[in-house]
Structure 1
Amino acid sequence: MADMDIHYEALEACRVAANKASGRFGALNEGTPKAAKKPTDAAAFGKVAGATALAAALNAAWSTLSLELVDARDKLKGVEQALETIQDNVAKAHQADS
């Protein structure tokens, strides 16, 4: 393993950053209502053509927001866990080589 140049600090910094980011997405999700208190009404856009479609799109976007926040949190948590596994495996290999 003497030929391998592993940047342990960079791995740790990336792992910590992924952990912080996953926590932030989790906190955003916890603070965000799962659905709008009341659906967007097309009347809010006046008599503009497409007002009904715009209201429907806003309602759909709101309903998927929570799902996307959870997905982002989970993916970043996976990155953190993968980096931790890499760190552990490199440390074990280095110890076995010593």
Structure 2
Amino acid sequence: MMADLEIHLSTLDKCRTAIHKAAGQYETTLHERNPGALTYDDKGEPRNNRTPVSADTFGHLDNSGALATAANGVWTALIGEMDQARRKLNDVERGLSNVEENIRKAHKATS
């Protein structure tokens, strides 16, 4: 029985490690694409710290200002979604750690 338990605990640990790695990749990308410290507004949403896209980026188009505003909106949304993914993965990692700890406690209590 103990060998089976260790296999299950090992599997949980491998899953937790993979989730930790994925969350870290989101965090790395967030810091690479959103320079500076990751900061949050009053609603808990990450701030877009990127230098805003300028209307000049698009040349002398009639709607270059609107295009720049839309581009900045895309970056803000992308940063928010990546931060949510990172947070959710961290929650799953903590959940798996709790499951593993509870299994160990239960096994110890019945041994």
TM over 0.5: yes
Does the alignment pair 1:26 with 2:40?
no
Which residue matches 2:43?
none
Unaligned runs of 5+ in 1: none
Which residue matches 2:55?
41
Does structure 2 conserve the Cα–Cα contact (< 8 Å) formed by 1:18 and 1:79?
A: yes
Q: How far is the alpha carbon of 1:42 from its aligned partner? A: 8.9
Which residue matches 1:57?
70
Q: How far is the alpha carbon of 1:91 from its aligned partner? A: 0.5
Unaligned runs of 5+ in 2: 35-47
Which residue matches 1:83?
96
Q: How far is the alpha carbon of 1:94 from its aligned partner? A: 0.5
- Structure with the greater relative contact order (CA < 8 A, sep ≥ 6): 1 or 2? 1
Of 73-82 and 57-66, the range deviating more from structure 2: 57-66
Rounded to whole Å, the distance in 1 between the matches of 2:65 and 2:99 is 51
Rounded to whole Å, the distance in 2 between the matches of 1:93 and 1:80 is 20
Which residue matches 2:79?
66
CA RMSD of aligned residues (A): 2.7
Rounded to whole Å, the distance in 1 between the matches of 2:60 and 2:9 is 58
Alpha-carbon distance change, 95 to 63 in structure 1, aligned in 2, over 3 angstroms: same
